[in-house]
Amino acid sequence: MTAVLVCGTDTDVGKTVFAAALVQALDGCYWKPIQAGTADGTDRMRVAELSGLGRERVLAEVYCLTTPCSPHRAAELDGVSIDVDRMVPPTVDRPIVIEGAGGVLVPVTRDCLYADLFSRWKIPAVIVARTALGTINHSLMTIEALRAREVTITGIAFVGDPQPDSEATICEIGKIKRLGRLPRLPKPNTSSLREAFAANFDLADFRA
């Protein structure tokens, strides 16, 4: 089974849209273990809509929390105790794309960061980074945080307008593979997302 961990350098970098494009291309399953914030729908619902995959392929969260903030605090506000041991990647009969939340040092609980959880899973990670100002710093810190925990990094996928120098600088200093860049799509849909991913990425990079 191919498993891909999609993690971001920060919140709102385009991670969920990228995850939808990747799971669509792999014809796989999607899982986000914790959803924090439900007023505008969930990432699971958005991935189902964008990817065009059946709802049975978009797996339920372990925890679905009300407040859009760090999971550790969202859980406290909801009166929920997060049990990290419950978050075990599902076994499925096709590729699975697993999405984190925010950046890799976001707390899952007051004793466990997302990067610590990723270290447990031993699943190769794809870093999703925006191309806007600040991305060099955020990207290099994300790379360092994952490597410090011995998380294998497949490469980095950029989202946004082209910034060739910033993208090249991150890859050179971080010694990381550039997987491609997903352009910003004003109103992404199943068809436009499929076309954009196919034009900018090599699916073989995600099957290793």
Residues labelled catalytic: 32
> Exposed e or buried b for every residue in 157-173, given b needs 16+ CB within 10 A?
bbbbeebeebbeebbee
User: What would the two tokens of residue 126 be?
Assistant: 């794809």
Strands (E) in 43-152, as ranges, are 58-59, 63-65, 96-103, 107-109, 112-113, 125-130
Cβ contact 131:160 at 8 Å: yes
